[in-house]
Amino acid sequence: MQLHSIDTGFFKLDGGAMFGVVPKKMWHKWNTPDVNNMCTWAMRCMLIEDGDRLVLIDTGIGDKQSEKFFSYFEPHGEDSLLESLKNKGFHPDDITDVLLTHLHFDHCGGAVYRDKEGMSRTQFKNATYWSHEEHWKSAMEPNPREKASFLKENFVPIEANGQLKFLKDGEHLLDSLSVKTVSGHTEAMMIPHIDYKGKTIVYAADLLPSAAHIPLPYVMAYDVQPLQTLKEKASFLNTTVEQEQILFFEHDPVNQCCTTQMTEKGVRLGEILRLEDVL
Ligand SMILES: [Zn+2]
């Protein structure tokens, strides 16, 4: 089995929204905002090569929305989903499975593209796309708070094309890849757990978007149930310490992975790592 980090570029989100109740005086050291208080975040996907399976976790923001839409989020950087896959030696048609942690646009935008005729097509035509049934339902009939994050053109074509399947909490997609669901950020977001050489790598998605979000009060204002996130974070972080797990960050603009450690203040960052160091 081989793991690859797949960089799909950066985008910007309001620093206040990303750090919730934590004052800027404290968070600005982690991520310096621009004049509009926008901070830069990565969209870092993961590719798992295992026998004849090639599993992609999340797909970045994609490129099919309007200029006006992208002007709010300012996608930038050298990397793109397809270029990064190509650099690792893969073609989109090689992908057998796409695991979408959740259906917010910065996670599933690359799942579907618009062709020259303006037709929506799934980017990975040979892949099964995996979502969570309860999450899918909530994305199809979103609450007013999350509506702007669920863009139907990013995921409806997956089902229309017959490529959609669902995973359940605790279910395995590979022997070495299972998911745990959490519902503080959004209904039934899937957190992939990858077992590799006796270690567990946790793809932290939006439960812990960056290393800055490890202390418990650092909960995004986007979360639909922040108190639930607090509980879920506490439980996940304790497990990372107990089991010496490695966190893989989707949105951290600098840090790819880290270990954690227990301190008198609670769980904190241990060692910053690159995925290559872990493997
Ligand atoms: Zn996100």
Instruction: Quote the ligand 1 centre to 103 CA distance (angstroms).
Output: 9
In one letter, which amino acid is 80? S
Two tokens, residue 57: 């976790």
Please give the pLDDT value at position 37. Answer: 98
List pLDDT tens digits, range 97-121: 999 999 999 999 999 999 999 999 9
CA-based R_g, the chain, Å? 18
Does residue 279 register a pLDDT over 80? no
How confident is the model over 22-47, as a mean pLDDT? Answer: 97
Instruction: Quote the ligand 1 centre to 66 CA distance (angstroms).
Output: 19
Residues 111 and 153: their CA atoms lie apart, in Å, by 10
Domain CATH number, residue 49: 3.60.15.10
How confident is the model over 78-100, as a mean pLDDT? Answer: 98
Please give the pLDDT value at position 278. Answer: 82
Q: Looking at per-residue confidence, does 277 or 30 come out higher?
A: 30
How confident is the model over 51-56, as a mean pLDDT? Answer: 98
Instruction: Quote the ligand 1 centre to 207 CA distance (angstroms).
Output: 9
Residues 277 and 72: their CA atoms lie apart, in Å, by 35
**Would you say the pTM of this structure is higher than 0.75?**
yes
Instruction: Quote the ligand 1 centre to 277 CA distance (angstroms).
Output: 25
Please give the pLDDT value at position 197. Answer: 83
For residue 43, name the pLDDT band (cuts at 50, 70, 90): very high
What percent helix, strand, coil does the chain show, rounded to 5?
25, 30, 40
Does residue 6 register a pLDDT over 80? yes
Give the single-character DSSP code of 145: T
Residues 179 and 159: their CA atoms lie apart, in Å, by 21
Parent domain of 261: 2-278
Instruction: Quote the ligand 1 centre to 94 CA distance (angstroms).
Output: 25
Centre a 10 Å sphere on the Cβ of residue 194 and count the other Cβ atoms it contains: 23
User: Residue 129: what are its φ and ψ, rounded to 5°?
Assistant: -100, 130
Domain count, the chain: 1
Instruction: Share the mean pLDDT of the chain.
Output: 97
Instruction: Quote the ligand 1 centre to 95 CA distance (angstroms).
Output: 22
DSSP-derived 3-state class of residue 31: coil
List pLDDT tens digits, range 172-215: 999 999 999 999 999 999 999 999 988 999 999 999 999 999 99
Return left, alpha or beta for 272; rule: phi > 0 is left, psi -120 to 50 is alpha, else beta.
Answer: beta
Which residues, at least 6 apart from 2, have a Cβ–Cβ distance to it below 8 Å? Answer: 48, 49, 50, 279
Instruction: Quote the ligand 1 centre to 135 CA distance (angstroms).
Output: 15
Instruction: Quote the ligand 1 centre to 88 CA distance (angstroms).
Output: 24
Q: Which residue has tokens 């077992």?
A: 195
